[in-house]
Amino acid sequence: MVTLRTKELRRIHLTLDGKPVLARSGQTILDVARENDVYIPTLCYSDKLRPLGTCRMCLVEIEGTAMPVTSCTTPVSEGMVVHTDTANLDNLRRENLKLILTRHPYNCPSCDINGACELQDLVYRYDISHQDMHAYQIKPADFGETPWATPLITYHPRRCILCGRCVSACTEIAEVGVLAYKGRGSDTIIASTEPNEFGRECISCGECLASCPVDALVEANGQPKGKAWETKKVKTICTYCGTGCELILNVSGNKVTHVSPSRGGVNQGALCAKGRFGYDFINHKDRLRSPMIRRDGYWEEVNWDVALDYVADKFAAIKQREGADALAGLSSARCTNEENYLFQKLFRGVLGTNNVDHCARL
Amino acid sequence: MTETILGIWDNQVICTPRPEDEASGITKLAELREYAPGNPVYAVMGWDGYFIYDQAHVDVVDMARAYMEVVQGESCGKCVPCRMGTRVAADLLTRIAEGRGAQEDLDSLRKVADVVSQGSLCELGHSALCAVIDLLNQHPDEFQRTVTEGIRHPRGTYHTKVTAPCVEACPERLDIPRYIEMIKAGHYPESLEVIEEKNPLAAVCGRVCVRFCEFACRRGKLDDPISIKHLKRFVSDVRLDAAVKIMPDKVHVVPDAPLVAVIGAGPAGVTAAYHLLRKGYPVEIFEASGAAGGMAVWGIPDYRLPRDVVRSEVEIITSMGAIIHYNQRLGRDFSIADLKARGFKAVFVAIGAQLGTGLRIPGEEPAPEGYLPGIEFLHKVNAGEAVKAGDSAVIVGGGNVAMDCCRSALRLGIRQVHLVYRRGREEMPADKLEVHDAEEEGIIFHMQCNPTRLITENGKLTGVECVRMILGEPDATGRRRPVPQEGSEFIIPCDMLFPAIGQRIDTSCLADDGASLDVTKHGTVAADDDTLLTSEEGVFAGGDCVSGPATLIQAMAAGLRASNSIDQYLKQGYVSLSDDERMSRVYRAVMAVDEDSVQRLGGAARKEVTLRPVKERVDDFDEVEQGLSPEDALLEADRCLRCYRILLVATDK
Ligand SMILES: Cc1cc2nc3c(=O)[nH]c(=O)nc-3n(C[C@H](O)[C@H](O)[C@H](O)COP(=O)(O)OP(=O)(O)OC[C@H]3O[C@@H](n4cnc5c(N)ncnc54)[C@H](O)[C@@H]3O)c2cc1C
Ligand code: SF4
Ligand code: SF4
Ligand code: SF4
Ligand code: SF4
Ligand code: FES
């Protein structure tokens, strides 16, 4: 008997803001709305993670259901009649945003993420100003020390909107799972759990930081300044190891301000600590910018022609005196495949030795 | 009697009961007069409204503030409306109650209530401000005067409890939504920790608990209840399956702590020992048989609950430092008076219900070959003793023990297994799933039949005569009793018969003891419902030996309660109800008027576990039910609505 695998993929008819639309089973209301260019505000949603349903911005109304539901977590079903834009929803979303702002500093100018912040976008969209916040004054919380799991990442509890994306990223993308909500009520923060018998430990990959919609998780070592709208985005391949992860360098002037995940590549956006945080060498003052030769115990900067002639002469002399196998080449993982190919070609074909190796990874 | 308004619940006005309300929920609620002896209840406030018992002693403004503070302290912090909305509401109410509020604050309160109740993620948030708004609507003058005249409200005395319907249904009151929450987060060890706060036998309960919680689960009103039992099994299996077994360390016994003895290492005894150890008492257990676990090892067969699972969980208490003396039977090897003489300051009797009940029909005495009380049959099977399998077996009864006998008999290779039960299928007390599985395995059911006579030949059983039953006149309880239909006798040929119609407690071991434990007219050990105190100073009793044959989790709850009672007894010399238990009473009174409806969108289907195919499983005693996969466990955990409910009681002290 042939099993009908298509059973899983049924067509579903629903009405979205009065318009009939076609959806596939398994899609959420939010998926369908986005496919049909219907705007629903979101804050905790990330298409890289299982829907969280925590921010409550994406509420929609379904006819026949007493309470609004979150569109990011609700699967579509046949005959559903969905309203995404009613006066009640608008009010709920505005009040909800205001509630987020009761514990969020109005401090956009000093945030690195300014201009690319999802909360800022929503506050702008819903036109919320200081006056609107008047009714909701609460006593300030004292979060005390809130160390994150790693020396590479700093956590700002006051900026955190507790969307939980970092918690999910740590579990679902990094598959580490050290983060958890800690505390109760308005004093809740995100914190790393105690190391336990199962040996969970933070690996400083920064997936949490990469998934944060606001500027609550930032690089602890500081990063060169550069606002979102000032930086050039350069898609490139990480040079640390042979995996070849794709990443985006954000470049302001001639400085890399930070690394952000790209959507594609073998890594589908995921990165390790080196690829994500290890870019400071690019602009480092100790970085070698031209070849050097040691003469009389002192390093001397030379141009490439001088340097290459110098090594070529030395190589030729050694080969003549001791034979080609007295030479060996060690190339770097930071070179591309093509460069490494040429490197071994040089040693095997030109110099005549099989003594070639590679440092494999950094 | 004039009708006065007691309060609001579910948007319904609740009045003091009239004579015709007798036996209704309202009466039960109205009877809730005292929180504790000498401490009257002034008001109750909860997730869906409030009741005022004594207007003169209740300050509604202060009560609203107090309630909101508890809610804010319980909000898990995940979703915005509840986390921040209840903070805003609590601060508004504080401002108002301190006489600093303004008219505008009352409006803001309503506004924020709207967002919190419509927008929150879970039921805690949905119900957070319901009662506050009810108070605002019913007592507008109090609030109005407070803001216009700037009245300051002193703080009253309140007792609070955070619970959930599933939690209250569980005899041990495990924090179910919390451990489900931990599974959602992928934090399995923490989830297990929540269970082990109360229950040391998580993997055992995760397999064979009768699931009171699931029957109370509110998700059941939407589609199907959460698979709580299997989620529990899931997290406990993570530890069982771990490559390196990590056992708890030996607990630090408090220096000079009095010695406590536990008699019987069944679920009740083991749980009591576990909690006593955690409280710092040195514990010694005296067990008649050669293994710990009680009916979990000697009754429940391996295909439902593998022996190793029980063993590894019982090891928890030995690794914590409990000493178990095996093959020590009360009444034969020692007496309670002996224990007292040996320096034990408190004793917990948990000897279970070990004796089978006979059918009281001709042919039973002397027992013919092939006849064995069901419970003894299972004991033999579980002890690995040879049971010569016949061709055909009859099991009498309709409970879980009967099901276990049937399915074990089948697994021993007995070709025909008959079940005889005097009522209808729907009335079988056995778990519906058990009945289903048994039928699937080919057990032959004879419903509405009763055995009347054993047929024997040369001392050997050859058959049983049964009679069909019909429903007779309703008895005192209103239930129609089955009566035999004359002339409908028929014979089932068989060479084995196991009655499984009940168990008795062997109270003979309590006789001739220097101590005198009273026995009830039902043949159970007499002990106080709440405190488990027996008629003998310092001796407590619980589990099946007090309740009669019941369930694991009830026995474990008795063990937990015994540990609390013993702790109180040893520390203060008397035993009283805990706050938690008193609040549970209030909860039950409130539930008498609660007509719950779940205003949510259902849909996600319950994740069922897989069973080994019938053909494969009927030949061995290997486990039938397989656990949930991590993916399914996550999806199942996601279905929980987190029906946390907050209950507040205003009292005098
Ligand atoms: C066949 C069967 C199947 C069951 N299935 C389920 C199920 O699926 N789910 C469920 O929840 N419940 C089930 N139960 C019920 C459950 O097992 C019992 O309710 C529970 O074990 C009672 O615990 P207890 O500690 O009170 O007594 P027991 O479990 O009976 O333990 C009593 C212990 O005391 C010892 N003892 C007895 N007399 C003495 C003495 N004189 N001196 C010293 N020690 C003594 C016994 O050896 C035993 O170890 C089942 C019971 C049976 C018999
Ligand atoms: S750095 Fe990686 S491992 Fe550490 S908390 Fe963040 S996501 Fe988890
Ligand atoms: S740190 Fe960022 S990602 Fe994590 S909960 Fe806070 S706002 Fe969300
Ligand atoms: S308890 Fe429920 S309603 Fe409250 S913050 Fe948590 S998820 Fe939201
Ligand atoms: S849905 Fe969850 S919290 Fe609610 S009753 Fe069921 S298990 Fe308990
Ligand atoms: S986007 Fe749906 S709840 Fe946050």
Domains contained in chain A, number = 5
d(CA B163, CA B584): 9
Of A68, A138, A171, the CB nearest to B118: A68
Three-state secondary structure along chain A?
CCCCHHHHCCEEEEEECCEEEEEECCCEHHHHHHHCCCCCCCCCCCCCCCCCCCCCCCEEEECCCCCCEECCCCECCCCCEEECCCHHHHHHHHHHHHHHHCCCCCCHHHCCCCCCCHHHHHHHHCCCCHHHHCCCCCCCCCCCCCCCCCCCEEECCCCCCCCCHHHHHHHHHCCCCCEEEECCHHHCEEEECCCCCCCCCCCCCCHHHHHCCCCCEEECCCCCCCCHHHCEEEEEECCCCCCCCEEEEEEECCEEEEEEECCCCCCCCCCCHHHHHCCCCCCCCCCCCCCEEEECCEEEECCHHHHHHHHHHHHHHHHHHHCHHHCCEEECCCCCHHHHHHHHHHHHHHHCCCCEEECCCC
Give chain A's end-to-end CA distance (angstroms, integer).
54
Specify if A136 maps to a domain: no
d(CA B341, CA B343): 5
Q: Which atom of ligand 1 is nearest to the CA of B267?
A: 25
The pLDDT, as a whole number, for residue B626 is 94
3-state secondary structure of B425: helix
Q: Does residue B136 have its Cβ closer than 6 Å to ligand 5? A: no
* A192 and A148 within one domain: yes
Strand partners, B454: B464
Residues B360-369: tens digit of each pLDDT = 999 888 899 9
Of A167, A185, A196, the CB nearest to B87: A185
3-state secondary structure of B346: strand
Q: Do A180 and B111 touch (CB under 8 A)?
A: no
Lowest mean pLDDT segment, chosen from B60-69, B154-163, B183-192, B403-412: B183-192
Tokens 């949510």 belong to B600
> Is the pLDDT at B479 greater than 80, yes or no?
no
d(CA B303, CA B294): 17
Residues B599-610: tens digit of each pLDDT = 788 778 899 999
* A29 and A59 within one domain: yes
d(CA B147, CA B142): 9
Q: Do A135 and B126 touch (CB under 8 A)?
A: no
> Is the pLDDT at A335 greater than 90, yes or no?
no
> Is the pLDDT at B2 greater than 70, yes or no?
no
* A215 and A148 within one domain: yes
d(CA B379, CA A344): 75
Q: What is the mean pLDDT of residues B273-299?
A: 97
A361: Cβ–Cβ under 8 A, 6 or more apart, which residues? Answer: A240, A241, A242, A333
* A250 and A300 within one domain: no
Run of H or E including B394: strand B392-396
Q: Does residue B232 have its Cβ closer than 6 Å to ligand 5? A: no
What residues of chain A lie within 8 A of the CB of B186, using their CB?
Answer: 171, 177
> Mutate which of A88, A95, A100, A190 to disrupt the B interface (most B C-beta within 10 Å)?
A95
Specify if A109 maps to a domain: no
Distance (Å) of CA B471 to CA B429, B447, B476, B487: 17, 12, 14, 16
* A281 and A263 within one domain: yes
CA B78 / ligand 4 centre spacing (Å): 6
Strand partners, B316: none
Q: Which residue of B has its CA nearest to A96?
A: B81
Closest protein CA for atom 6 of ligand 4: B76
The alpha-helical segments, DSSP class H, found in B422-517 are: 432-440
| Token code pair at residue A227 | 């606002």
Residues B191-242: tens digit of each pLDDT = 999 999 999 999 999 999 999 999 999 999 999 999 999 999 999 998 888 8
* Architecture of the domain delimited by B259-354+505-576: 3-Layer(bba) Sandwich (3.50)
d(CA A278, CA B10): 59
* A211 and A240 within one domain: no
d(CA B586, CA B29): 8
d(CA B200, CA B250): 15
* Cβ of residue B600 closer than 8 Å to a chain A Cβ: yes
Specify if A126 maps to a domain: no
Q: Does residue A271 have its Cβ closer than 6 Å to ligand 2? A: no
Q: Do A96 and B119 touch (CB under 8 A)?
A: yes
Eight-state DSSP code of residue B250: P
The pLDDT, as a whole number, for residue A8 is 63
Specify if A119 maps to a domain: no
Query: What is the CATH classification number for the domain harbouring A174?
Result: 3.30.70.20
Domain encompassing residue A184: 141-221
* Cβ of residue B635 closer than 8 Å to a chain A Cβ: no
Query: What is the CATH classification number for the domain harbouring A250?
Result: 2.20.25.90
Q: What is the mean pLDDT of residues B545-555?
A: 96
CA A323 / ligand 6 centre spacing (Å): 69
Cβ-contact B641, B165 below 8 angstroms: no
Q: Which atom of ligand 5 is nearest to the CA of B216?
A: 5
* Cβ of residue B343 closer than 8 Å to a chain A Cβ: no
Q: Minimal CA–CA distance to B607: which of B206, B218, B94, B230? A: B230
Q: Do B84 and A186 touch (CB under 8 A)?
A: yes
Specify if A104 maps to a domain: no
* Cβ of residue A89 closer than 8 Å to a chain B Cβ: no
Q: Which residue of A has its CA nearest to B187?
A: A177
In this chain, the answer to whether the domains covering B259-354+505-576 and B356-504 adopt an identical fold is: yes
> Is the pLDDT at A123 greater than 90, yes or no?
yes
The pLDDT, as a whole number, for residue B255 is 86
d(CA B650, CA B653): 9
* Cβ of residue B198 closer than 8 Å to a chain A Cβ: no
* Architecture of the domain delimited by B356-504: 3-Layer(bba) Sandwich (3.50)
Count of C-beta atoms within a 10 Å radius of residue B287: 24
3-state secondary structure of B648: strand
d(CA B257, CA B309): 32
d(CA A111, CA A129): 18
Tokens 């697994």 belong to B411
The pLDDT, as a whole number, for residue B12 is 87
> Is the pLDDT at A6 greater than 60, yes or no?
no
Q: Minimal CA–CA distance to B292: which of B271, B261, B320? A: B271
* A13 and A71 within one domain: yes
CA A179 to chain centre: 16
Q: Minimal CA–CA distance to B53: which of B32, B36, B24? A: B32
Lowest mean pLDDT segment, chosen from B393-397, B546-550, B575-579: B575-579
* A206 and A163 within one domain: yes
* A282 and A332 within one domain: no
Q: What is the mean pLDDT of residues A283-304?
A: 92
Q: Which atom of ligand 3 is nearest to the CA of A217?
A: 1
Cβ-contact B151, B60 below 8 angstroms: no
The pLDDT, as a whole number, for residue B171 is 97
What residues of chain B lie within 8 A of the CB of A185, using their CB?
Answer: 72-75, 77, 83, 86-87
Q: What is the mean pLDDT of residues B10-24?
A: 78
* Percent over 90 (pLDDT), chain A: 70
* A256 and A204 within one domain: no
Cβ-contact A335, A346 below 8 angstroms: no
* A333 and A282 within one domain: no
Q: Do B79 and A95 touch (CB under 8 A)?
A: no
Of A56, A65, A91, the CB nearest to B80: A56
- Scanning A235-274 for CB atoms below 8 A from B yields none
List the Cα angle B172/B173/B175 in 5-degree steps: 130
d(CA B462, CA B453): 11
> Mutate which of A91, A118, A186, A189 to disrupt the B interface (most B C-beta within 10 Å)?
A186
| Token code pair at residue B351 | 């000897």
The pLDDT, as a whole number, for residue B593 is 87
For chain B, give every domain's residue range: 6-163+647-651, 165-246, 259-354+505-576, 356-504
- Scanning A26-85 for CB atoms below 8 A from B yields 53-56, 59, 62, 65-70, 74-75, 77
> Mutate which of B72, B74, B80 to disrupt the A interface (most A C-beta within 10 Å)?
B80
* A294 and A283 within one domain: no
Residues B496-525: tens digit of each pLDDT = 999 999 999 999 888 866 667 899 999 999
Cβ-contact B643, B165 below 8 angstroms: yes
At residue B234, what are phi and psi to the nearest 5 degrees?
A: -55, -50
* Cβ of residue B111 closer than 8 Å to a chain A Cβ: yes
Distance of residue B175 Cα from the nearest chain A Cα, in angstroms: 16
CATH 1.10.3720.10 fits B165-246, yes or no: no
d(CA A297, CA A287): 20
Q: Does residue B76 have its Cβ closer than 6 Å to ligand 4? A: yes
* Architecture of the domain delimited by B6-163+647-651: Up-down Bundle (1.20)
* Cβ of residue B503 closer than 8 Å to a chain A Cβ: no
